[in-house]
Amino acid sequence: MIRKPNTPLSQLVELFGPELITTDEIALEAINTDQRKIFKGKALALALPKNTPDIIKILKFCYAQKIAVVPQGGNTGYCGAATPDETGTQLVLSLRRMNKVRSIDPVNNSIVVEAGCILADVQRAAEEVDRFFPLSLGAEGSCQIGGNLSTNAGGVNVLRYGMTRDLVLGLEVVLADGRVLNKLTALRKDNTGYDLRHLFIGAEGTLGVISAACLKLFSAPKSIATAFVAIPDVNAAIKLLTKLRSSSGDLISSLELIPHIGLELVLKHIENTRAPLVIPSPWYVLCEITSAQVTEPLVQRLEEILTAALKNGLISDAAIAQNERERQAFWRIRKHIPEAQRHEGHSIKHDISVPINYLPSFVKQASAWVAQNVPEALLVCYGHVGDGNLHFNINERRENNQRKGTNQNTLANNLTKDYLVAYEANIQRAIHDFVSSYNGSFSAEHGIGKLKVDELEHYTETAELDMMRSIKKIFDPKGIMNPGKVLRGHN
């Protein structure tokens, strides 16, 4: 009789069956690559738990066998944090089947969801009970709450409601060895010792698997006013923010910066889009004020604020959405900039934040560097200007990407994807050095993943890195949780 080899994979399949563990090639193909297609790994297999006890038994086995586990949500992250390495030894654990809303409490303004719930489904569940879950980002139709928590996602409403971290009441987490940290509390006040939940938020799956969360809800906005505003420069965006804050009674929920090139790319690549304003402007902002009061005359108030801004030359033009269709059309432009950039070609993404006062000088300095060193690239600098967070992206330019360079000393004469990739580290370091000189962050909302491990080591004080490594050791002594992400060399 021929004995079957007793490999970790054969044991996994034997123990948990095809219901929980799949080796189907098509399924693995999809989970082996990140959404930007810059990392390609090779998973041992794909685990598809249906509930928390399934996660517990899978992690207990992996811990005993020292099998690395890579949690994966919607796989929309930008840093390769949910992609397995190339060794074929890491088990990808997808939360996609754990997508139930466990309970919702409109009195306590809270909702308990499984980690695999799609963000848009959580928003809808809140709407059904006349409440609002404010986390909102371009990937909301496919990213999952577990992924949002693990990256501490930001999005377009941070100005008013904060990052994902600020929207969490409690968590249920399965630790590396299969123990459960059950803090799925809906309490708003709980000062019983160290607040461990915050360690898992933003940990990118390196400390445990988030299996469920209790999230904060808010009163549903009943009056909304949204405008697409033409401005001459980034400084005007910041002045407008101050005006909107003081004149609206702090009702501002979003202020997003859009460069003219961002609008152009969207009009070029995304269907059903059109420019909201007739005369082009170097920059625009999309701003929104909201109130839970039905009778609040917000459109009128926004009109007054913008008319005053027009008179004193702060803005050059503005369109206020007259109905929900127009509002959605404005947001469609903003939310599709990443997709439009992808259609245009490869891009080097910088997800930076600096104290908001310094944004104009940062943009000026870093843009001048790009103009000098990567002159043929498209600089697409857009994003959450109200939070001091911009996506300072350097994009391949379609019509140029076949050009061949003659001068080897400049970066841009041969601006193919390969060329940008080859110089990516140098370009990033130059931009991040500017960020650092303003005491900013080189990763405002996308995290570290695989992509920015070097940057974390470069820009973080030794004492802080040591503390991070010590925390990792406490929660994951065998180094099985998403090794090589955030921190190097834990396996």
Ligand X SMILES: Cc1cc2nc3c(=O)[nH]c(=O)nc-3n(C[C@H](O)[C@H](O)[C@H](O)COP(=O)(O)OP(=O)(O)OC[C@H]3O[C@@H](n4cnc5c(N)ncnc54)[C@H](O)[C@@H]3O)c2cc1C
**In the complex, which residues of this chain contact ligand X (CB under 6 A)?**
35, 70-78, 81-82, 95, 115, 137-139, 143-144, 146-148, 150-151, 153-155, 204-205, 209-210, 338-339, 445-446, 482, 485
Q: Measuring CA to CA, which residue among 471, 343, 391, 376 is closest to residue 78? A: 391
CA distance 338 to 246: 31
> What are the start-end ranges of the E strands in 232-346?
252-259, 283-291, 317-320
Taking each helix axis from N to C terminus, what angle separates 52-65 and 8-20, rounded to the nearest 10 degrees?
170
Q: Measuring CA to CA, which residue among 428, 241, 257 is closest to residue 351? A: 428
Give the nearest distance from C-beta 115 to ligand X in angstroms. Answer: 4
Give the nearest distance from C-beta 157 to ligand X in angstroms. Answer: 10
Q: Which CB, 35 or 290, lies closer to ligand X?
A: 35
Q: Which CB, 105 or 339, lies closer to ligand X?
A: 339
Q: Which CB, 419 or 442, lies closer to ligand X?
A: 442
Give the nearest distance from C-beta 139 to ligand X in angstroms. Answer: 4
CA distance 316 to 223: 26
Cβ–Cβ under 8 Å, residues 170 and 187: yes
Cβ–Cβ under 8 Å, residues 33 and 84: no
CA distance 463 to 45: 37
CA distance 55 to 95: 9
Cβ–Cβ under 8 Å, residues 146 and 116: yes
Q: Which CB, 82 or 319, lies closer to ligand X?
A: 82
Give the nearest distance from C-beta 269 to ligand X in angstroms. Answer: 13
Q: Which CB, 74 or 221, lies closer to ligand X?
A: 74
| Tokens describing residue 459 | 């820009």
| Tokens describing residue 17 | 């069956």
Give the nearest distance from C-beta 154 to ligand X in angstroms. Answer: 4
Dump the DSSP string for 48-60.
--SSHHHHHHHHH
Q: Which CB, 148 or 226, lies closer to ligand X?
A: 148
Give the nearest distance from C-beta 34 to ligand X in angstroms. Answer: 7
Give the nearest distance from C-beta 241 to ligand X in angstroms. Answer: 18
Q: Which CB, 262 or 314, lies closer to ligand X?
A: 262
Report which residue's Cβ sits closest to ligand X.
147
Phi and psi for 183 in degrees, rounded to 5?
-120, 50
